[in-house]
Structure 1
Amino acid sequence: MSLLLYPAAASTARTDAKPGCQDKSGNIHARNISVLEGTITASLYTAFACYNKTGSRTDNYAQSFTLGSGPFTLSDTRNAFTVIGCDTYAWMTNNESTYGAACLSLCTENVSMSDGNPCSGSGCCQTSIPKGLKSLKYSLSTLNEYTDVSDFNLCGFAFLVDKNSFQISDWPLSRKPKYDNDAYTADVVIEWVVENKTCEQAKANQSAYACGANANCTYPEIGQGYRCSCNEGFEGNPYLREGCQDIDECKVLKNPCKEDTCENVIGDYNCRCPRGKYGDGKTGCQRGSIITIIAGN
């Protein structure tokens, strides 16, 4: 399953795709595309494994997905691999098997799953992912088939999740999986670029260059490809031809001028000092010196 989206056509922050472009691919559902941050927030089903009180596995679902060949990567700064349970071991790898990691969560009593839980291995475990991942698959196992904790925990869950949206209180140890439209999902952040080219390479082909008027080519922190951003003094969607519009600082800013009159200009604003004073008006105005000229014979 692969993700096929076109972020350059999205608005600053929207929850739907461009007409004619699917907002869902396989079990990934794109919910929000941010032009300013260069991210896609998507929903992804969680993996799980459940056992009965005798230690026999009753249910199991492993997760795998790929972002395809497009300019998409999983955000290493926003996402964390998370495991929930008291006898839960989960591991993850990419499709190329060039990366692997695991997380183990154990507890002998019904620990508090409050938001104060540090998620450091008791009821909850989290670990980071490396930069540049385009695929991931993960599944769960157990050490003792939950027989020692069966009074309060019979299922374990594993998922990649946006750390900003994750709340451990949403994941009680008594939770059991749901299915179909009610199945549990987690928000995942995907980073995107226009193309895996440098700004110089992109500008050399103006017919395909994505940045519109009053926009500039920029490099993202992920270290590959380019994005567009509105020049200083402009705002809007830098991927549309006239998407970056002038900001009227005189209306938007609170008290933009220290004194007297604010004048909006394209991409900036000017402040005029009152008569008898001088300066740029933005940082302040000073009174002019009085020079007396005495004329003699």
Structure 2
Amino acid sequence: MINIIEKIMSMLWLMLLLSWPAAASSSNARPGCEEKCGDVSVPYPFGIDDPKCAMDKYFFLNCNRSVSSPQLLFGINIEVFNISIEDGTMIGSIWTAQRCYNDLGGCNYTDVRIDLGEGPFKFSDTRNKLTAFGCDTYAYMGDLVGSFWSGCISICNNESAKITENSCSGIGCCHTPLPKSTKSLNVTLRSAYNHSRLGNFMPCDYAFLADETFNLLDFQLSDYDKSSSNAKIEWVVKEGKCPDDQNSNVYRCGDNTNCDYSENGEGYRCLCKPGFQGNPYLGCHDIDECKEKERYHCEGTCKNTFGNYTCDCPIGMHGDGKVSCQGFRITTIAAVIGAAIFTVTVGILAFIACRERRKKRNFFNNGGMILKHQRVRIFSEAELIKATKNYDKSNFLGEGGFGSVYRGVLSDDTQVAVKKPKEADKIRVSQEFQHEMGIVSQINHKNVVKILGLCLQTKVPLLVYEFVSNGTLFHHIHSKSSQVLKTWKIV
């Protein structure tokens, strides 16, 4: 009993060990590390809770679980809502610069200073724009070291304050792009007339970073009240160039990956090679393209290979199965052949059935119902065709006004003469003829050629006689070599 329990425990332990790599490979976090903060996934090289879960200190984020809904924080005050390892970005919440004026010309304002720190992080120059709203507004931005300054002007009156198009033209809204490699921002607002010419309909100005998902039509100057906006931050795994030796310790990418340079300043990030998927910073695994038919086209037989797949066109077709196969599939050919065989078979069966019905009809019309009860042998059409070799010329004996006569051999080796009437005669066997045939068939005299039977399955009955091997009476009387006339006495 103890041995059985030990064997069961050993099997369970083996199953656990075998399942561990698969479970670990499906996670984007480092093995043994938490991969979510609230609803936000935290893929490696980022990490939370333990600095060892991140690639280095710059990728270590803070998960604030002291609030009702956990917050993932980057730096001091940037809340992160999404991290993408595919395009090397994360979406963070950035404070909005505001300036609100009262009736006396005084104002309350909030300028924004943002620093992404020393790590490999930059504001996206292609996905973000400094966007300002207001009717007497000057929006400025620069970095914290004063290496650049830029801005835009927005003016309007109470009739043009409503935005009707998803674009900033300078009337109620303006925007300006960010330069590359921007790691810090200082956003401030100014007013030319302290809103003294606008009245009370629009007392505040706003400026913030807006990513490409921001919809201007959702923004109305009269009721805007947001203290933050979403901006995209780009990151690289390491600033500098990709090392020549990708097996060295300084290379930050995992197995089956490519090194990809950032277009926003120096640095590189990692991407899975074509045919692989997963977290490129932990290592990418092979894709079984044959199981993902919607993503990987194949019109034939799919076979997965390491990092790729092959697709052979079906039998009977040619071309590249990944693109398009030309010709007909074997199933189509088989279906056509099957349909043809079915059609031919049905046609043959219909022909046979029709022929049998015709034979029965002829048999009935030729008096077969009466003759079959008399001492007359009824031959089938098939018997006579076989006996005469389908009325071959070699079996032709002669021809008269009524029809042609053919020699035949029955299945029992009996030699017969088959008289095949001409169809033009259209002999109709009356009850008298049928009765007479029954009598004649019973005559057995040495000087009378005996009729053996007839075939009633044809339109005109066929007569079967005893075969006379020594020639006909006409031949014996009129032939020059005949001795019959010499023996006759002339009276």
Structure-1-length-normalised TM-score = 0.81
Deviation readout 1:149-181 (Å, 9 max, x if unpaired): 12310000011111x22122333222365xxxx
Shift of 1:15: 2.4
Q: Could you tell me which runs of 5 or more consecutive residues in structure 1 were left unpaired when the two chains were aligned.
A: 1-6, 178-182, 288-297
* Residue type at the aligned position of 1:19: I
Q: Which has the higher contact order (CA 8 A, sep 6+)?
A: 1
CA RMSD of aligned residues (A): 2.6
* Residue type at the aligned position of 1:55: G
Shift of 1:79: 0.6
Q: Does 1:281 align with 2:321?
A: yes
Q: How many residues align?
A: 268
Contact 2:93 2:231 in 1 (8 A): yes
Q: Does 1:15 align with 2:25?
A: no
Deviation readout 1:199-238 (Å, 9 max, x if unpaired): 126736x334221121121112224111110010111211
* Residue type at the aligned position of 1:184: S
Rate the CA distance shift 1:35–1:72 in 2: closer, same or farther, 3 A.
same
Rate the CA distance shift 1:68–1:228 in 2: closer, same or farther, 3 A.
same
Contact 2:135 2:161 in 1 (8 A): no
Please, which of 246, 258, 261 is the counterpart of residue 203 of structure 1? 246
Aligned pairs (5 A) from 1:37-186: 37-57=87-107, 59-114=108-163, 116-162=165-211, 164-175=212-223, 177=225, 184-186=227-229
User: C-alpha separation between the residues in 1 aligned to 2:157 and 2:326?
Assistant: 72
In proportion to residue count, which structure has more helix? 2
What residue in structure 2 maps to residue 189 of structure 1? 232
Q: Does 1:268 align with 2:293?
A: no
Deviation readout 1:87-145 (Å, 9 max, x if unpaired): 11121111111100121111122425446152121110101111111111011111111
* Residue type at the aligned position of 1:142: S
Q: Does 1:220 align with 2:262?
A: yes
What residue in structure 2 maps to residue 28 of structure 1? 78
User: C-alpha separation between the residues in 1 aligned to 2:115 and 2:104?
Assistant: 36
User: C-alpha separation between the residues in 1 aligned to 2:83 and 2:184?
Assistant: 20
Contact 1:48 1:140 in 2 (8 A): yes
Contact 1:8 1:35 in 2 (8 A): no
What residue in structure 2 maps to residue 291 of structure 1? none
Rate the CA distance shift 1:286–1:93 in 2: closer, same or farther, 3 A.
closer
Deviates more, 1:165-174 or 1:260-269: 165-174
What residue in structure 1 maps to residue 298 of structure 2? 257
Shift of 1:273: 3.4
SS at match of 1:36: coil
User: C-alpha separation between the residues in 1 aligned to 2:202 and 2:316?
Assistant: 78
User: C-alpha separation between the residues in 2 aligned to 1:137 and 1:285?
Assistant: 59
Contact 2:105 2:195 in 1 (8 A): yes
Aligned pairs (5 A) from 1:221-260: 221-241=263-283, 244-254=284-294, 256-258=297-299, 260=300
Structure 1 or 2, whichever has the larger Rg, is: 2
Rate the CA distance shift 1:278–1:154 in 2: closer, same or farther, 3 A.
closer
Rate the CA distance shift 1:188–1:272 in 2: closer, same or farther, 3 A.
same
* Residue type at the aligned position of 1:65: I
User: C-alpha separation between the residues in 2 aligned to 1:202 and 1:156?
Assistant: 53
